Each structure stands twice: as structure tokens, then as C-alpha cells.
Amino acid sequence: MKRFVSIIVIMALLLSGCGGKKDKGMKEVEYTTESEETGWIYLPDSMEDDPERERPLVLMLCAPGTSPSDKLKAAGWWKQAQEADLLILMPKYRTTESYSQTDRLMESVNYAIENYPVDTTRIYATGFSNGGGAVTALVNDYPQTFAAISCMSWMMPIKHLSSPYEMPFQIIQGSEDLTLEMDSGAMRVIDDEVWGIEALMRYNHLLEHGEAKDFDKTEYWGYEPDEVKTSEIDGRTWTFSNHYKEGYTRPFGQMILIDGGKHELNEDEAFVAWDFLRHYTRAQDGAVIEVE
């Protein structure tokens, strides 16, 4: 039986400072790889006292432009990295491409692994808009690298539906963001996301044999979840549609709809994303392990 539960999430947000190479709680370091890939790595202040301890790495893809730190703050990862003691990687990449640049993005990930204390069992990928498409492209080519992913406000379908590497996934979408109204009046996400959701569901064996999309029954996402929860965050209702997988106690696939949300960065998304991502690690043999 499907479960429908209402909860209230109280989130303690830390104060962040102004931009610059060294800011309150975080240090921005520009990097260039041997192949001349460039970008920024953000290091928590805790590294000054404990520089050798391995930390989770979050690959954050969001067309940084001229002020990557501002994008990081707008997306909430500046605060979340301080709170959870994370390393954040923001490579430069071409926003008009996704599948063709996965090797370039992995060059940056490998640079971070080689030069910083990265816990390689806890590498995560998240992206906003085109960045979400780049994340699913990375799943297609390098699934063994990432322990879990979170796509925000857009994604693309993965190409290879058969893989030994499961991938816990989260999708965050606003109700007024890249959505379409069907003839029936029901709402759904745009085609890229429709196909992308189906691909991830099949990739992770979360669909029953013959199960088809039905947006009249389940708006926006098309697939009836095992559980629905709602949270009030910053005055808006966030609806969590959770899909469970045998062998795991937490949602393995999670789709989140923000009531009234538009196609824009939302600093609360990083906290919600990390609360999902942090419960998964990738063992050296490629297996996904659930953790507290």
C-alpha cells in the first residue's frame, strides 16, 4: 500500500561571508589540469587543522560564468560544505554539450582525487539545468565513480540501461519549471526529463515488468511512488516521491516537486540533496552501500 505522510523539516542554515579567494568557512582555489581543464575547488576551513583527513567530494555543475562562488552560494553548497565538511569541485564546461564532454569533466574529478584528500567511496555529482544533463551523461560513462547523484531542474536520459553499477538518484523540480500541461489538464515534466526518469528507473530496476507512465495518475513524474512525504521549507511545500529498492531502507530514487518553484537556483536544494546523497557510498568493487 502506498504511504502518504506529512512532515516538517527544520533546517539550521549557517551564515556565509562575502566573495573572494578566502571567505568565511571556505577557501576558493583555481586549478588547471595537465590537459588544461580549469575550474575551482572549494575547501572547508577545517582542512587547516586536519589537512590529511579524507572528505566527501561533491562535483557541482552549474555553468559558473564569472563568479563561481556566487553560484555556489545561490545553490546552497557554500553553506552545506561548511556544515558537512565537504570538498566542492566546480569545473568549467561547455553548457551546450553534455555527453561529448564527460572525459573532460572526469579529468577534473581525477585532478581533485590526486591533489586533495578525497574519500573516493563518497564522490557525488549534482547539477542545475544543463548541469543536470551533464550529471546523467557522467552516469552513462563513469557510473563506478559516483556513489549517488542529484539532478536539479533538468536532466537527460542515460544511454546504457544495462550496467553492473546501481545509481541512487534524486531529481528536484519546481512546479513552474520546465513543465507542460497535458490535454487532460494533468501536469508533467518536459520530454527530456520524462525519458531521463524512465531511463534511471529502468537502469536501477525500479519499475515492475510492464509498468508504464501515467501522468493522469501521478502528475509531473508519471510513476506512482512507494511513499509520498511533504515538507514546508522556506514557506513552500516540497513533495517527496520516494521509490524503494530491495536491500535498502532509504529511498533509492527520489523525485521532489517544489510548489511554485521556477527555473532558478534555490539554496535550500543543497541541504535537501545532501540529506539524500550522504546515505550512500560506493565500495571499491562498485557496490552501492547504504550508511547512516
Query: Where do the domains of the chain lie?
Result: 3-10+20-286
Average pLDDT of the residues of the chain:
90
- pLDDT range class, residue 23, cuts 50, 70, 90: low
From CA 90, how far away is CA 249, in angstroms rounded?
31
The fold for domain 3-10+20-286 equals Rossmann fold (3.40.50)
pLDDT in tens, 203-229: 999 998 778 999 999 999 999 999 999
Which pLDDT does position 232 carry in this prediction? 98
Which pLDDT does position 159 carry in this prediction? 87
Q: Measured in Å, how far apart are the chain's first and last C-alpha atoms?
A: 26
Outline where DSSP puts E strands in the chain: 3-6, 22-23, 26-32, 38-44, 55-61, 87-91, 118-128, 148-152, 169-174, 179-181, 187-189, 227-233, 236-243, 253-258, 280-282, 288-290
3 pLDDT higher than 50: no
85 pLDDT higher than 50: yes
**Which of the two residues, 56 and 98, has the higher pLDDT score?**
56
Residue among 222, 167, 225 at smallest CA distance from 191? 222
pLDDT in tens, 120-174: 999 999 999 999 999 999 999 999 999 999 999 999 899 888 899 999 999 999 9
From CA 242, how far away is CA 206, in angstroms rounded?
11
CB 138 within 8 A of CB 148: no
CB 255 within 8 A of CB 225: yes
Residue among 43, 33, 32, 127 at smallest CA distance from 85? 43
CB 53 within 8 A of CB 87: no
Which alpha helices (DSSP H) does 120-258 contain, by range?
A: 130-141, 191-203
CB 158 within 8 A of CB 99: no
Residue among 248, 281, 276 at smallest CA distance from 172? 276
